[in-house]
Amino acid sequence: MQNKIALDKIKLLFYVTLPEIKKFIRDFHREMQKGLCGKKSSLKMIHTYLRRPTGAEKGRFLALDLGGTHFRVMLMELKGNGKTGACPVKTFVLKKKHTTGKGKALFAFLAGCIGAFMKEHKLDTQARYNVGFTFSFPVKKKDADSGVLIRWTKDFSASGVEGKDVVKLLNIALKESGITGAKITALLNDTVSTLVARSYTEPDCDVGVILGTGTNACYPEKNGEIINIEWGNFNKLRRTHCDREVDRRSGNPGEQFLEKMVSGMYLGEVIRCLAAELLPRIELPRGFKSEYVSVIEADTSKGLRKTDNLLKKVGIRGSKHRDRKLLKKACVMVSARAARLASAAIASVLTKMDPTLSRRHTVAIDGAVYEKHPCFSHRIRATLKEIFGKDARRIKLVLTKDASAKGAAVIAATR
């Protein structure tokens, strides 16, 4: 009985009520407005100096995507009327010497990859190509085709790059490698790429969302410029003791509160903290992955056998059925809260653009949490229906996979 009372209290602690969601939306709007006005805000509201495509763009454009230890180069053909042609793509793997060595060597390597791709597809290195560059690291922008790296993340530490314009560095490397025709004409991040890639084929797409390892969103303001919200840093949230513990142990305490409650990087750690309270017999390992959460929630096998196998895989043997049932409940509580908070954030952006939700909106979403978690997309739709009632039918959520490179090509066509 005592365990049941404790579990019921924890359920209430992690459940986000509708009044809380409505307060979230009001607070989010205030933070958005402060950010747009240049006032101190948890939402950076970064100007991208980019606009959505019209769908009429035509031609062949090169696209680059650097967001981790893989670098992708794509040639995308746009046929107009929202239609696309062939999109050959090649992925190159960066080694540690590229990510942690000298910045000049990193950009020389990237230029070499581009040259190898052009040679493979018989592209003239002297011919003019507009190139879009998706660079998923924090940058400060002054216009569409430049961006100063604020700081490296994702275990990158290449020297001589922080505080420098990454577009300029790559353009110099391209010229030095003999590629004189290709020029970076637009710099964007994965969130903007997701919006742009989908809006080329669906003109009513006006929100791009990432729900994966991290989380973020963008949308077009009234003047048409796409704004990068950086919503992972939203901090007007009711946090639990588990959230505070995860934040304390993180590499950036006091920052990215929404991201630490929603994204794949942190879901497993919140569950690990909660499981330590519910299941003192079992100690989940640090770095408990969000993909494990998906496996556990999808497990309908007898005795939760698949969960038992997963626990054995991470070094935990001898779990009892009741332990696995409690672990599954912990996963449901944490991921359901994440989906409701993501829904609240999406609702906030939609009502910023369209307060009465009077027109149709397509929300392009990329990221493993949204794509691979068995219940996440369903929970978001259900919560949006709870928020908007019958008007939720005007909201279309679309999984937009591998948009980083495609969006870069499309945005290059607008330059």
- Indicate which residues carry an active-site annotation: 154, 190
**Beta carbons within 8 Å of 23's beta carbon, 6+ residues apart:** none
Question: How far from the centroid of its chain's Cα atoms is residue 379's Cα?
Answer: 18
Cα dihedral: 281, 287, 291, 292 (round 10): -10
State the residue for tokens 């569950």: 271
Distance CA(65)–CA(411), nearest Å, equals: 13
CA dihedral sign of residues 162, 164, 168, 172: negative
User: What residue type is 179 in one-letter code?
Assistant: I
To 5 degrees, how large is the angle CA 268–CA 289–CA 156?
Answer: 105
Q: Which of 57, 136, 141, 72 is nearest to 410 (CA)?
A: 57
User: What residue type is 289 in one-letter code?
Assistant: K
Do the Cβ atoms of 338 and 267 come closer than 8 Å?
yes
